[in-house]
């Protein structure tokens, strides 16, 4: 692999042992994937936001960086907190949270604590190279914004954050960003989260091009996150909507490898069939955009929920809602507006049955059921 003088110096330890280790890691990853060089990145986003001693290697690496006074070289954001205050078990499992947050602060990581970093403090432009490790954020950056990012592990991501480089391969290359599978839709009712869930399972890691549908920004987020959870899809296009798919000819650069059709029955098969006695209803995985919270708030205005109901959004949006008095409206309806990651928050409560409209949350959260938005609102007692 070709390295610049600066990169070679880092590798040889000119900037300390921890930096040399970071550079060695990137070079090894690059060689494994056939990269010919390391390229500069615009930003990093770390999925390592849960302070649990189970993540020994990550905590150890952070420790080494901090001990050598290293700071991130590119703007670096971080995923949501794990909902440590939700119960005694959570406080025990995530007992390293305060320590982790101190380490991240010392490294110079922006304390946004949200998986929708691209909504405010870490907004990539078309063509920007990134090293992010949150799969839903990688998906949104690649697909909706046209930035270039592989789906990295947090151990690689942190090395890129401190060096400012990533190996050039995969979705950083033009030839890997073209569409592979054309997805036709035969649907009466669109449910982007369910569609993403089904597509991830069917396509695994191929690049789909969904025929034109006027998805909103939030729908692209929710569909992409589900696709990246049930499969390893890290880039999708929507004909005539996403930046690299102005038309089918351009995005495929020839014929698609495959054509599939998604029918209404495919999506309907995902929805909860038997009404059950749920312990909680969860919205927001990925974190809800401001406009999604406002839309949901209209459904809750003047109601009182009958089940514990959680709206998960970023700390920045939560602050805005508090400043505008909107969180009070939701509070009066009995709704909890929170800024943690629901998947981490509910995991230890093995017996909790959670209903969610998020395909990603359903995929990762033990004992959860997937419901259409209307069903979730009905179950928690909102006006529908």
Q: Under the rule (CB under 6 A), what is the footprint of ligand F3S? A: 79-80, 115, 134, 136, 225, 285-287, 312, 341-343, 360, 364
Nearer to ligand F3S, 77 or 79 (CB): 79
β-pair type (165-167, 130-132)? unpaired
Nearer to ligand F3S, 169 or 310 (CB): 310
C-alpha distance from residue 315 to each of 47, 111, 266 (Å)? 16, 9, 35
Q: How far is the CB of 219 from ligand F3S (least distance, A)?
A: 15
Nearer to ligand F3S, 115 or 297 (CB): 115
Which of 299, 325, 306, 136 lies closest to 233, judged by CA?
Answer: 136
How large is the angle between the packed helices 56-67 and 17-32, nearest 10 degrees? 130
107 close to 20: Cβ distance less than 8 angstroms: no
Q: How far apart are CA 95 and CA 281, in angstroms?
A: 26
Q: How far is the CB of 345 from ligand F3S (least distance, A)?
A: 9
- The half-sphere exposure of 44 on its side-chain side, counting CA atoms within 13 A, is 30
Q: How far is the CB of 356 from ligand F3S (least distance, A)?
A: 10
Q: How far apart are CA 47 and CA 336, in angstroms?
A: 24
Nearer to ligand F3S, 209 or 317 (CB): 317
Which of 171, 222, 217 lies closest to 200, judged by CA?
Answer: 222
Q: How far is the CB of 138 from ligand F3S (least distance, A)?
A: 11
> Max CA-CA distance within the chain?
64
Nearer to ligand F3S, 256 or 286 (CB): 286
Q: How far is the CB of 364 from ligand F3S (least distance, A)?
A: 6
Q: How far is the CB of 228 from ligand F3S (least distance, A)?
A: 9
Nearer to ligand F3S, 154 or 156 (CB): 154
Handedness of CA 64, 70, 73, 74 (dihedral sign): positive
354 close to 285: Cβ distance less than 8 angstroms: no
DSSP letter for 37, please.
B
What residues have CB less than 8 Å from 306, skipping those under 6 apart? 380, 381
Helices and strands (H, E) in the chain, number of each type: 17, 14
β-pair type (76-78, 130-132)? unpaired
DSSP letter for 371, please.
-
Q: How far is the CB of 78 from ligand F3S (least distance, A)?
A: 10
Q: How far is the CB of 282 from ligand F3S (least distance, A)?
A: 9
Q: How far is the CB of 304 from ligand F3S (least distance, A)?
A: 26
Nearer to ligand F3S, 150 or 314 (CB): 314
Q: How far apart are CA 217 and CA 223, in angstroms?
A: 10
Nearer to ligand F3S, 213 or 364 (CB): 364
Nearer to ligand F3S, 30 or 286 (CB): 286
């Amino acid at each position: 692999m070709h390295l610049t003088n600066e990169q070679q110096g880092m590798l040889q330890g000119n900037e300390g042992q921890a930096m040399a280790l970071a550079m060695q890691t990137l070079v090894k990853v690059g060689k494994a994937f056939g990269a010919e060089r390391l390229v500069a990145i615009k930003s990093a986003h770390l999925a390592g936001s849960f302070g649990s001693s189970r993540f020994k290697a990550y905590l150890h690496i952070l420790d080494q960086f901090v001990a050598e006074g290293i700071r991130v070289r590119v703007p670096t954001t971080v995923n949501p907190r794990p909902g440590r205050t939700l119960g005694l078990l959570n406080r025990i499992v995530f007992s390293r949270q305060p320590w982790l947050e101190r380490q991240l602060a010392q490294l110079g990581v922006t304390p946004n604590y949200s998986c929708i970093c691209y909504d405010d403090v870490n907004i990539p432009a078309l063509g920007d190279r990134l090293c992010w490790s949150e799969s839903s954020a990688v998906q949104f950056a690649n697909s909706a914004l046209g930035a270039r990012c592989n789906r990295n592990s947090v151990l690689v991501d942190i090395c890129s954050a401190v060096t400012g480089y990533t190996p050039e391969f995969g979705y950083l290359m033009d030839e890997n960003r073209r569409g592979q599978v054309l997805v036709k839709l035969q649907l009466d009712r669109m449910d982007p989260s369910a569609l993403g869930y089904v597509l991830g399972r069917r396509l695994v890691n191929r690049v789909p091009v969904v025929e034109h549908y006027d998805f909103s920004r939030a729908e692209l987020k929710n569909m992409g996150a589900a696709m990246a959870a049930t499969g390893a899809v890290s880039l999708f296009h929507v004909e005539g909507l996403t930046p690299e798919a102005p038309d089918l000819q351009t995005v495929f650069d020839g014929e698609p490898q495959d054509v599939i059709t998604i029918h209404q029955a495919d999506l309907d098969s995902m929805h909860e069939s038997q009404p059950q006695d749920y312990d909680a209803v969860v919205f927001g995985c990925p974190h809800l955009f401001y406009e999604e919270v406002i839309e949901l708030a209209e459904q809750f205005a003047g109601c009182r929920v009958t089940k514990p109901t959680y709206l998960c959004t970023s700390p920045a949006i939560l602050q805005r809602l508090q400043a505008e008095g909107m969180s009070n409206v939701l509070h009066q309806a009995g709704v909890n507006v929170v800024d943690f990651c629901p998947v981490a928050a509910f995991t230890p409560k093995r017996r909790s049955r959670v209903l969610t409209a998020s395909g990603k949350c359903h995929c990762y959260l033990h004992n959860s059921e997937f419901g259409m938005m209307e069903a979730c609102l009905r179950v928690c007692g909102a006006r529908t």
